[in-house]
Amino acid sequence: MHIHIGFRLRFAIPAPTPMLLLLQVYPGPYQFRRPETLTYSPPPAAPGDAYTDLFGNAARRLVAPAGVFEISSDGVVAVTGLPDPVQWQAVQHPIDTLPIGTLGFLVASRYCEIDRLGEFAWQRFGKGPTGYLRVQAVCDFVHQHITFGYAFARATKTAFEVFNERQGVCRDFAHLAITLCRCLGIPARYATGYLGDIGVPADPSPMDFSAWFEVYLSGTWFTFDARHNLPRIGRVVMAYGRDAADTALTTSYGPTVLQHFEVWSKEV
């Protein structure tokens, strides 16, 4: 299966402004039928720097010119066409046997306060199944506990606040589920990227980037999505991190106003 992916962002910028970008597909797992092309209008005075960040994401640094500045991307990527893999028998690793590279996804981070939800996590899930079944129980709880709505978005909202307010957007579902998994000793990492309406009824709302999470079980990373709470077809990861603080698609070091935001992800 091939998916046409891309976006268009338009900013109003009063003065030349340094920006950090995570706007490309995560390098490695994907093959492209038409290469992903990132363009700027007008072009920055200098081309900027491409680099790989601490989580393996494809990142860029540039100075955006003053005025109206547009960033766009377009490409066609290959995916399996299969739903997210489900492995009910996947087991949880004892913490002392986990690969060292997973341990950073067990601890607290900017939006995931494991110290504030640990007691609840063990009371709610500690006597139930472990491994994949335990993560699914977490997703079932978060899916039922939170009401989704774009009006509930807040850039500073943490997992503990989501838990108490019981409303949020996809990143909030992911943050709460990640936090509960980490409380239970399961490495969990945040993922953001494209998720089109493939194999499901079309959502009438304008398309946006999506957030979900992955957990480390039986020696590999498995995808979970507490917002939709069912396997989906056609996910394309742009960035991984501990939480949304590590995966901001654009970071500006000066005043910027987002004037236009458009995302597409459709089967072709």
Per-residue 3-state assignment (H helix, E strand, C coil) for 30-82:
CEEEEEEEEEEECCCCCCCEEEECCCCCEEEEEEECCEEEEEEEEEEEECCCC
**232 shares a domain with 108:** yes
Q: What's the start-to-end Cα distance of the chain, in Å?
A: 8
Mean pLDDT computed over 54-62: 97
pLDDT value at 160 more than 90: yes
Would 161 be classed as within a structural domain? yes
**190 shares a domain with 59:** no
Instruction: Please report which confidence band the pLDDT of residue 66 belongs to, taking 50, 70 and 90 as the band edges.
Output: very high
The pLDDT assigned to 46 comes to 87
Residue listed under structure tokens 């209008």: 41
Instruction: Please report which confidence band the pLDDT of residue 47 belongs to, taking 50, 70 and 90 as the band edges.
Output: confident
Answer whether 186's CB lies under 8 Å from 114's CB: no
- 156: domain CATH number is 3.10.620.30
The pTM of the whole model exceeds 0.85: yes
**189 shares a domain with 58:** no
pLDDT value at 8 more than 90: yes
Distance between CA atoms of residues 181 and 19, nearest Å:
33
Distance between CA atoms of residues 164 and 258, nearest Å:
30
Three-state SS for 236? strand
Residue-number span of the structural domain to which 115 is assigned = 95-245
Helical pair 131-145 and 170-183, crossing angle rounded to 10 deg? 140
Tell me the two tokens of residue 170: 């996809």
Would 49 be classed as within a structural domain? yes
**256 shares a domain with 232:** no
Domain count, the chain: 2
pLDDT value at 45 more than 90: no
**47 shares a domain with 173:** no
- 21: domain CATH number is 2.60.40.2250
**102 shares a domain with 62:** no
Answer whether 217's CB lies under 8 Å from 186's CB: yes
Q: Which residue in 248, 215, 217, 211 sits closest to 232, CA to CA?
A: 211
Would 62 be classed as within a structural domain? yes
Query: How crowded is residue 254: how many other Cβ atoms within 10 Å of its Cβ?
Result: 14
Would 88 be classed as within a structural domain? no
